[in-house]
Amino acid sequence: MAAVCQPRRALVEIPAPQPKIPAPMRRSYQEILSARLAPCPLARRRIAPSNIKSMQQLNLPADEAWHKRVEEQCSEHHTPLSKQQLVLLIKSLISVEQRQESRNMASGMKFLQEDLQQKKTNIYRSIPYSRFGSNRDAHCYRKAYPHLLAFKVSCEEWGQVLLRNQEWDAVLQHALMAWRYTSELPQWDTVNHNAVKEQCYSVLAAQCLTALQHYQPEPSRGQELLRRLKIAQLHSHSIVPCVKELQRILERADNSDAK
């Protein structure tokens, strides 16, 4: 019996060829690329010389721009400043400098927070979770131990840098921030394995106490620090000397105000 042959069907239909583009309308690849990279003429017309000058001033620090404006005004008027104008000028310069320092301190604290967050993330990433037993046992602790040491070194080193610079309020802010991250570290099944965590608490408490011995905060700031220190006391009693020292500072300030 002869085999029945079925006609084969094409899997993909081939489209009809497109008409060729005439020679005068063709453009080379180089022409297309240069046309895309060319600046827009409208944008060129919008940029005026005065705008260029203001854009250059935006790249200057705040104090340099302020000094430049003061010099321009003085050169225009050629008149000496009065006593009231001089006082206003000095106050303005001080406020500009304080805003610059606050921005630098805020950026520095943000960097330290990101560093601690990254160290804590590395600790939890090193712990194997695909296990039948506990993920807080000795095996998981050995995996996370190098990252725990890195977290401890970060708490020590950055606190020492701030202490050497005598930035007492920044020391307290960093210590309380690092204290919160320390409280979020894993709690291991073996008691001895939690020694690194307790060492972090001790280091941060010592930095706090050193800062409080050289720093007398304002009453509002002192009350805020006292509230945060009492919250930190719930995680570890190493902070108790700092709480007592700050209470003495606030009581001494209240007695001096009463007199």
Structure tokens at 170: 């920044």
Count: domains in the chain? 1
Confirm whether 138 is domain-assigned: yes
Query: Could you tell me if residue 210 is inside a domain?
Result: yes
Residue 220, domain CATH: 1.20.58.1590
Domain that holds residue 252: 88-258
Residue pLDDT, tens place only, 96-147: 554 555 455 556 788 889 999 999 999 999 998 876 778 899 999 999 999 9
Q: Considering only CA atoms, which of 204, 208, 104, 98 is closest in space to residue 151?
A: 204
Q: What is the pTM of this model?
A: 0.60
Residue 33 located in a structural domain: no
Using only C-alpha atoms, what is the Rg of the chain?
A: 33
CA distance 203 to 148: 14
State how far the Cα of 108 lies from the Cα of 100, in Å rounded to an integer.
12
Encoding tokens for residue 137?
């046992």
The answer to whether residue 76 is domain-embedded is: no
Residue 10 lies in a domain: no
Three-state secondary structure along 96-145? HHHHHHHHHHHHHHHHHHHHHHHHHHHHHHHCCCCCCCCCCCHHHHHHHH
Write the DSSP symbol of residue 15: P
> Using one digit for the tens of pLDDT, what is the confidence trace for 178-205?
999 999 999 999 999 999 999 999 999 9
Q: Whats the size of the chain, residue-wise?
A: 259
Residue with tokens 């001494």, as numbered in its chain? 252
